[in-house]
Amino acid sequence: MRQRVAFLRWNEQWTTREIADWLGVAPGTVRGYIKVARDQLVEQIGADVPFLDDQEDSAGSGNDHRKEG
């Protein structure tokens, strides 16, 4: 689940709310997965990973990325 959340956040640029809604989990759960993934990357690669300083988009982008069906 953590890999899926990290992929959606960093590769697809989904907001926490979009990920939470799509996966059917609480936004706090998504934030927890992102934090653990970020911490693991920093530990393994170092603090110079450029996308780790992304800011959470709490208002959302207005794009609906959720899959239908």
| pLDDT tens digits for range 10-43 | 999 999 999 999 999 999 999 999 999 988 888 8
Task: Classify the C-alpha dihedral 46-4-22-66 as positive or negative.
Answer: positive
Domain ranges within the chain, ordered by starting residue: 2-52
The position carrying tokens 């997965």 is 33
Average model confidence (pLDDT) for the chain? Answer: 80
Q: Pick the residue with more confidence: 9 or 51?
A: 9
pTM exceeds cut of 0.85: no
What is the model's pLDDT at position 55? 57
Q: For residue 50, what are its two tokens? A: 């450029």
Distance CA 54, CA 6 (A): 12
Report whether 18 contacts 65 (CB < 8 A).
yes
What pLDDT is attached to residue 41?
85
Whether the Cβ atoms of residue 6 and residue 16 lie closer than 8 Å to each other? no
pLDDT of 69 reads 39
